[in-house]
Amino acid sequence: MNKLAVIWVALLLHFLPAHAANLNQGIAIDYLDGESRLSGLRLAYRPYYGTFSQIKQLGELDVYWEMSVNLWEFGENNHHDTNLAIAISPVFSSQFTTVANKYPLKWEFGIGVSLIDDTQFAGKDIGSHYQFEDRLGLVMLLDEQQSVSMRYMHYSNGGLNSKNPGLDFFNLSYGYRF
C-alpha cells in the first residue's frame, strides 16, 4: 500500500509544477456506492483543463486529466475488507443543455488506468493489480469554480486476465477549480 501512495505522490509532483502557473487546476471529493455492501471515498486532483475543438462533429470538447486516490470498503463494521487504488485518466466532456437557464449540464466520459493494492476484494478475485477505470456521467456547473457530478464508474482488467469480474460504482462528486 505504501508503494501506491509513493507512486501517486510522484505523479502529483510531476504534473503540479508544469501547470501551477496557469491556475487552471481542480480538486474533487467523491462518494462511491458499489454493489452489495461496497462503498468508498475518492480524492482527485485535476492538474490540467483544456478545450479540444479540432473535430467539428464533436463541437467544443473539454478535457482534463485526473489523478485519484480511492479507498474502498466492503462488509459490515465487525467484518470488513478495505482496498486502496490510485488512478489516472483523461476525461472528456461537453455541454448539451442548461438547467433552469442557469446551470450548464455536461456529459462526460473517460477511460484511464488504475493500480489496485489487493486483488482479493469484496469476495472477488479481480485478477490483477492493473485495472481500467471507465466512467460515464453528468456534470452540472454551479458557477465557474464549482460543480457536482453523478457518474457510473467501472473498474476491470478488460479481459487481460482470465479473472475479470469487475467492480461497479455509482459516484457522487463535488469539484472545485482554482
- Cβ atoms of residues 167 and 155 within 8 Å: yes
**One-letter amino acid of 11:** L
Would you call 168 a catalytic residue per the annotation?
A: yes
Distances (CA, A) of 127 to 65, 72, 110, 168: 26, 17, 22, 15
Give the closest residue to 136 by CA, choosing from 112, 109, 158, 154. Answer: 109
Helix ranges (H only) for 79-133 are none
Question: Can you point out the beta strands (E) in 53-178?
Answer: 61-76, 79-99, 103-116, 120-121, 124-125, 130-141, 146-156, 167-177
Q: Is 156 a catalytic residue?
A: yes
Strands 120-121 and 79-99: unpaired
**Cα separations in angstroms, 152 against 18, 32, 137, 159, 165:** 31, 9, 6, 20, 16
Kindly name the residue from 89, 147, 149, 156 that is annotated as catalytic.
156
Question: Does residue 19 sit in helix, strand or coil?
Answer: helix
Known active-site residue 125: no
Residue in 149, 154, 162, 173 annotated catalytic: 154
Active-site residue, selected from the candidate residues 62, 81, 118, 168:
168
Catalytic residues: 154, 156, 168
